[in-house]
Structure 1
Amino acid sequence: MSFKEWEAVVNIIAALAIGAWVIFEALANPPVTVEAVAGRLLWAILFGVLFTIAAMIVMSILVSIARREEFKDEKADERDKLVALRAMRNGYIVASVAGIASLLTLAFSADPARAAYVLFGGLMLAGIIDAGSRLVYYRIG
């Protein structure tokens, strides 16, 4: 697998791990206020960034050890740009649907905290779709 494929795998794992943590916390300790939800989601974003950075470093080290050579990102060519554009398109579609779903949640007088969770979950799903699409497009060309 190339560096870009491993990067997509790490992004999927990070999004699934952080999403699972947010779902667990939302079900185990339901927040009372919108401020509590916003704080929890901001912490989740911070942990997601830190987790992704740490996982990319560990992945690079492990793959370098396994290959017995330095594992680094290759210069992007035309194919990489096309794969990224197609994958981002898929992610943006999911993110757009998440935004609409969040607004619909508010329009039907639901709790604003629920709308925040809908938006966050949709954006996490958009990230998974983007990374998954990159994996698929790199494999099928």
Structure 2
Amino acid sequence: MLAETICSAVAAAGLGIAAITAYRKRYRAAARIAAYALVPLGLVMTGAVQWAFDTAFSPMAWAGFGVLGAAWLLFLSTRAVDRRRGDRKAADQGGRQDPVAPAASAPSLGQGQRGAAPKPKTAAPAEDFSDIEAILKKHGI
């Protein structure tokens, strides 16, 4: 009951300020103030204020928030443990990932021979930049 009275008083005061602002020919600001002033009144009329008031002073609701907080902490801690174990597992394997199909042959995985060194890439032929140089010289660069 007290919360509804306070919200109604805030709405009435806000609408009074909006009326004074409109009297001073600042209609856009008055409309904005009126919109803000009507929000608490709308919340009272929908019953949201009573629900929030009942929730704020309910020991059962606070116990529920505590349970939700504990669940959140459990989720975070298990996620952190999974990340640490995942990093340790990758370090034990030397950075390799398990193949998708363990029975697949090495060439089908794209690794070639396991003990062989990778083939060096051949250097690409030098590209001809004469046309670019001509354009740059034309513009004096």
* TM-score, normalised by the number of residues in structure 2: 0.31
Higher RCO, Cα 8 Å, sep 6+: 1
Radius of gyration: which is bigger? 2
* TM-score, normalised by the number of residues in structure 1: 0.31
